[in-house]
Chain A
Amino acid sequence: MSDKPPDEIIYEELTLDESALLEEVLSELGESRRRFIGQSSMAVLSALVLEFVAKRNALAGTLEPPAYLPGVADENAVKVAFRVNGLEKAVSVDSRVTLLDALRETLGITGPKKGCDHGQCGACTVMVDGRRVLSCLTLTAQCEGRDVTTIEGIAKGDKLHPMQAAFIKHDGFQCGFCTPGQICSAVALLQEAKNGEASYVTPDVARKTASVQLSDEEIRERMSGNLCRCGAYPNIVAAIREVHTGRPTDPVPGEIAGSKGGAV
């Protein structure tokens, strides 16, 4: 039997990857390595790993901790009741869980995409109380009583929303990852234009009109929060222009080359 303290034995027995994992477990639990070493034994380590697993489960929205972990509950759990695509939902999640993660992981609504998770790409765009927002920068806890609409809630049964149909018609995507966010953003944009809201490229913001007719430049500015790595922008603009103006246009080769949507 070694005379070394048990924690050092544990660390010595771990591979580099296992040590890194242990450090991650400790930091996620808010546990310092020093404190861990001070009290450590294999039993403590096992308990910490189980707690870690429980927290991971709580983050993923598993409401009940597994039966083999009696008494493990999340100290920061919040209960939130809200509507998603017209249906009442109630979840209990760790306070850190974003709306995006609650939708995807807890409720299985995977239309909103996790692109950057930092509010820079727009792939997670949903509507809350009718307005487009970023679900990655919204806490689930902030959504109590709110009305959330995702891409899944935009069509009427089997009938596509006109914006969905226009994106298909104009080839407004390639890989499709940003598309749910693009379409949610575009649907909200139509309403903003009807409300007469201005943008940075609106010529005379002091003159408020009942509704705004959007140029391609306006559409591009108002869609600037939604990035598309495939570069489908000209076709996205064409799709939005068609729904906004109500004037159907045939997709033309120029759209694909980018020349049509590119004129300012």
Chain B
Amino acid sequence: MKPFKYTRVTDATAAVRNVSANKDARFLAGGTNLLDLMKEGVDDPTELIDIARLPLAQVRSANGGVQIGALAKNTDTANHPLIRQNYPMLTQAILAGASPQIRNMATNGGNLMQRTRCTYFYDVSTPCNKREPGSGCGAMEGINRNHAVFGWSQKCVAVHPSDMCVALLALDAVVKVQDPSGKQRSIPFSEFHRLPGDAPENDNNLKHGELITAIELPKSNVAAHSYYLKIRDRSSYAFALVSVAAGLEMNGSTIRSCRIAMGGVAHKPWRAAAAEKYLTGKTATDENFRAAAEAEMNAAKPLEHNKFKVELGKRAIVHALRRAANPKTV
């Protein structure tokens, strides 16, 4: 690990000022991803600004929904009564990620900021346009079993690793950000992360020095019919091959509206808009679920080693929708 200066701050304005002033400075919250990246030499900040003790860890009711602080721990967010009752899909998604130890350390803001686990990104001896722009993509011609089937570019085929973010996207969350001038701005979740395009080094649309302060969840009408399904190589403590956050607003057996998002398939959490469109107004049957899954996954563009994700994605969508529609019977 390269040497760095460590500073603990007690107010957000100082934090933002310190990081803005040095392009090689980073915010340090839980540190579960950043420290690992620094040990691997993937990131080498000269300065860490420890924000963990800023008063941004509340989970509270706000504007008919719930606001979760950027520095609330993943564990506390998942287990908060407001989240468990109103957004059980978010609880499940958070608890599907990492391990209890890591969730006790990791913060909500940090979860949004975590970097891809693409092995070529992590291995500094291989080319990676995300780590070193212009060096090439090791995964494109390499082993790309875990990589994207939607929205990738010639520059990058990596996927976003978060489970929590998949549920936040399905729930239409809004990210609250403080910029270096002290102004607050709001970023719809769907516009927070980005596709790789020609600049895979940018995972999201935050500017350097901008600090996530909170995440707002609008009132949800899918709490009674929602599920987060995660498919991975082992039964726990692994990143998703494919995951699905599904929420249904039911009227009898008719789907009044639905929310479906996927993880493990793209550079950002992926909204399954085609599946949502197909299902709206239809009855909740396996046939309709399968047709919706086909509508979504038939647009996938798999790579050499991840063609299995197309059929796996379809089955995962069907399974998640079935669980969401019949929470008591499965």
Contact = CB atoms under 8 A, between A and B. Distances in A.
B50 A141 contact: yes
B39 interface: yes
Interface residues of A, number: 45
Interface string A81-103: 00000000000001110100000
Contacts, number: 116
A141 B223 CA distance: 41
B92 A125 contact: no
A107 interface: no
B135 interface: no
Interface residues of B, number: 41
Contacts of A96: 1, 3-4
Contact of A133 (B1, B2, B36, B101): B101
Contacts of A204: 327
Interface stretch (B83-91, B136-144, B267-275): B83-91
A122 B101 contact: yes
Nearest to B94: A200
B39 A125 contact: no
Contacts of A185: 100-101
A118 B3 contact: no
Contacts of A189: 100
Nearest to B79: A197
Nearest to A223: B100
B237 A225 contact: yes
A208 interface: yes
Interface in B86-123: 88, 91-92, 95-96, 98-102, 104-105
Contacts of A216: none
Given A117-B39, A125-B101, A205-B92, 14 more contacts: A78-B6, A95-B5, A96-B3, A139-B28, A139-B31, A139-B35, A141-B50, A142-B31, A188-B100, A199-B95, A204-B327, A208-B79, A208-B84, A225-B101
Interface of B: 1-6, 8, 28, 31-32, 35-36, 39-40, 48, 50, 52, 75, 78-79, 81, 84-85, 88, 91-92, 95-96, 98-102, 104-105, 223, 230, 235-237, 327
10 contacts: A95-B48, A118-B36, A133-B105, A185-B100, A189-B100, A198-B91, A200-B96, A205-B95, A221-B235, A224-B236
